[in-house]
Amino acid sequence: MRPAPRSLLDFAGVPPHVADPSRAALVIIDAQEEYVRGSVPLAGVEEAIAEAARVRRWAQARGVPVFHIVHHGKPGSVLFNPEGPFSAVVPALTPEPGETVLIKQLPNSFAGTELHERLKQLGRTELVLVGFATHMCISSTARAALDLGYRTTVVARATATRDLPDGKGGFIPAQWVQASALAELGDRFATIVEDAGALPAAPAQPRTQLR
């Protein structure tokens, strides 16, 4: 019988580490209408949005800073046109007072934004990631976060993706893409938790954040 697969983190003796609210920031990535009503709707996106909203409530109750990363394509572009209706953040995750909004143009949320600088200002060294799409911007951000020294937690049910072409005339179903993307991140880049209920229930703290 073949042995059960092990992650690289397991081989290295690194135990799973779920974000500590006193050190963490919540990063909500690309929670935009393009993924709901636009050209690239995601499988299970409404459920993922609802779970992301629960994660935000967890963060707000514990003084965890909240960052919204919003993707903008070029004006007039087919996807994420900043002048069109589908670049808007979905209503359930509309930024609230005290929450920071950063615009990006690449999959990696750190690329071309002030995210790293803002996190350093706040002394936050751990990230909780939710949003879209799992295989693209969640993955790119989690991988970059490791390079920058962050410990990352990804909330699986607060992410979603879509069917992808397989390069041979067929497609890879969204559920396979989702499972693969999360497994890849869990191998080395992040701790994967199922839902908001898996996050630490630390005592509530006042919210503070630099704009």
In a domain, 5, yes or no: no
Asked if the structure places residue 12 within a domain, the reply is no
Q: What is the CATH number of the domain that holds 58?
A: 3.40.50.850
Confidence of residue 207 (pLDDT cuts 50, 70, 90): very low
Using the structure block, give the residue that is written with the tokens 């006193």.
22
Question: Rounded to 10 degrees, what is the CA torsion of 182, 184, 189, 195?
Answer: 10
Domain assignment present for residue 122? The answer is yes
Residue 51 lies inside a defined structural domain of this protein: yes
85 belongs to a structural domain: yes
- Inform me whether the pLDDT recorded for 117 exceeds 90: yes
Residue 108 reports pLDDT greater than 50: yes
* 54-80 per-position pLDDT tens digit: 999 999 999 999 999 999 999 999 999
Q: Which pLDDT belongs to residue 151?
A: 98
User: Is 152 a member of any domain?
Assistant: yes
Contact call for residues 33 and 87 (beta carbons, < 8 A): yes
The answer as to whether 210 is a domain residue is no
Active site residues: 30, 104, 137
pLDDT at 210: 44
Could you give the number of structural domains in the chain? 1
- Reported as a single tens digit per residue, the pLDDT across 31-42 is 999 999 999 999
CA 115 to CA 131: how far, in whole Å? 16
Give the domain extent around 171.
27-196
Q: How far apart are CA 28 and CA 55, in angstroms?
A: 10
pLDDT tens-digit map of 130-186: 999 999 999 999 999 999 999 999 999 999 999 999 999 999 999 999 999 999 999
Do the domain assignments include residue 208? no
pLDDT at 190 over 60: yes
pLDDT band at 202 (very low <50, low <70, confident <90, very high): low
The answer to whether the CB of 51 falls within 8 A of the CB of 158 is yes
